[in-house]
Structure 1
């Protein structure tokens, strides 16, 4: 009987010195991975435990079979019960002390796991071919890591990012609201002319509107990060892509449905 592999899936674990724990991961690659010596672009994702719930196997299979996509592999990292402490911003925890291990998580990614992938798998040596993404707090984490370690990545995708993450409680009528940590991350970081950003929000991400301006906080926080990036020198459109899903919610179903659009942005071949 003749058969053909569509995808190759590898599940494993990596012991992180920085986190002092085993980190579970899943790698999904196209079938040609076994047949070639060529390197592959990398799509790294936080919250990899949501692979099935987001129907990513179907999305990846379609992308792998597309002639317009670069050869790439997907790498999903599972979180554990310390998610709210390991994800966040490396520079500082939020005002409730959450994200206190985000610096350790950043070091795990940049000093341990990325080098491990480069050593053990057929991954590109060109940082422009590395994309990192995440959802909600995992999206904030991916954004923070890519922005501060731009020498390792070319693109970042943030789905309903937790850009509300702040160093002090919200103060009513604080129009600038600079307590949101992501704004200071962008302001204090170095400009990298190769970086590209993809942001997604849903019109039903939440109902909260803390300043009563008719824009839900999830969308406003993301748009304010985009404004900060533009102030830094990034172009919109161009360096920045923003996708607003009408009726989209803060859930795996919404993110799974929009994920193929993200893959297209991240992995479409560039014209010579």
Structure 2
């Protein structure tokens, strides 16, 4: 069965915990039967949809039959992004991420139920969450803590440097918050993880090992996951983009690789 283009629609949901309206854009495949299981992907920083080339990427992947049917929901952030994104209940050393628990509650208790009702997504296949930079940290945190809901997470140049102590206050690697969360989790969540960094994400090298911090922090996330019993590449996949910068155009180039890994074409439809 061929997917004949996309149905794109914009919606607004008034969030109680966030105390603001949240706008999101839905990209739905057209021309497929309603009884076919549909994948769902939530995407942080949906305001960057045009720069990420979401429409063009999805159309190309469907035309070349590389991914299964996917409902992609691009969630636009607010001006309070630095507080709403982060690790729930664990702000960083400047108290950034102080509303991350409220954003997580919005996703789980408000957005997902509305999507199931509005888009008739009761017959879901896989559910994923993805994001970029601080939005990648947010997606990882929410998926990690709700692995009973999410099957896969994608974190592009994620802010895994998020820490409880500043470099000038005696920082040690153990101060990185998401690494702490993984270590403290008493079980292995059933979650597939896709991680990406660019070799030119930044120039900072706090431990002077000639590897930029974004790569160091992501590699250390992989080590924490491996210590939890995860395997590579089936459960944890790492993509390092040579020359990749910390910017939307680079993440746009990496996005098809993630989508094909997370939602590969099968023979069931």
What is the TM-score of this pair, normalised by structure 1? 0.92
User: What CA RMSD, in Å, does the superposition of the two structures yield over aligned residues?
Assistant: 2.0
Q: Identify the residue that residue 105 of structure 1 maps to in structure 2.
A: 103
Work out the number of aligned pairs and report it. Answer: 266
Which deviations, in whole Å up to 9, do the C-alpha atoms of 1:45-75 show, x marking residues without a partner? Answer: 0000000011111101112234342111110
Q: Note the C-alpha offset of 1:192.
A: 4.0
1:48 aligns to 2:54 (yes or no): no
1:254 pairs with 241, 250, 256, which one?
250
- What secondary structure is seen at the aligned counterpart in 2 of 1:156? strand
Structure 2: gaps spanning 5 or more residues: none
Q: Identify the residue that residue 72 of structure 1 maps to in structure 2.
A: 70
Rounded to whole Å, the distance in 2 between the matches of 1:124 and 1:170 is 47
Structure 1: gaps spanning 5 or more residues: none
Rounded to whole Å, the distance in 2 between the matches of 1:22 and 1:173 is 40
Rounded to whole Å, the distance in 2 between the matches of 1:49 and 1:55 is 11
Rounded to whole Å, the distance in 2 between the matches of 1:262 and 1:64 is 14
1:131 aligns to 2:140 (yes or no): no
Q: Identify the residue that residue 88 of structure 1 maps to in structure 2.
A: 86
1:268 pairs with 252, 264, 267, which one?
264
- What secondary structure is seen at the aligned counterpart in 2 of 1:25? strand
1:11 aligns to 2:10 (yes or no): yes
Is contact 1:53–1:252 with CA below 8 Å preserved after alignment? yes
Rate the CA distance shift 1:97–1:172 in 2: closer, same or farther, 3 A: closer
- What secondary structure is seen at the aligned counterpart in 2 of 1:234? coil
Q: Identify the residue that residue 25 of structure 1 maps to in structure 2.
A: 24
What is the TM-score of this pair, normalised by structure 2? 0.93
- What secondary structure is seen at the aligned counterpart in 2 of 1:53? helix
Q: Identify the residue that residue 177 of structure 1 maps to in structure 2.
A: 173
Rounded to whole Å, the distance in 1 between the matches of 2:169 and 2:223 is 21
- What secondary structure is seen at the aligned counterpart in 1 of 2:224? helix
Q: Identify the residue that residue 114 of structure 1 maps to in structure 2.
A: 112
Q: Note the C-alpha offset of 1:236.
A: 2.1
Name which of structure 1's ranges 261-270 and 104-113 shifts more when overlaid on structure 2: 261-270
Q: Identify the residue that residue 162 of structure 1 maps to in structure 2.
A: 159
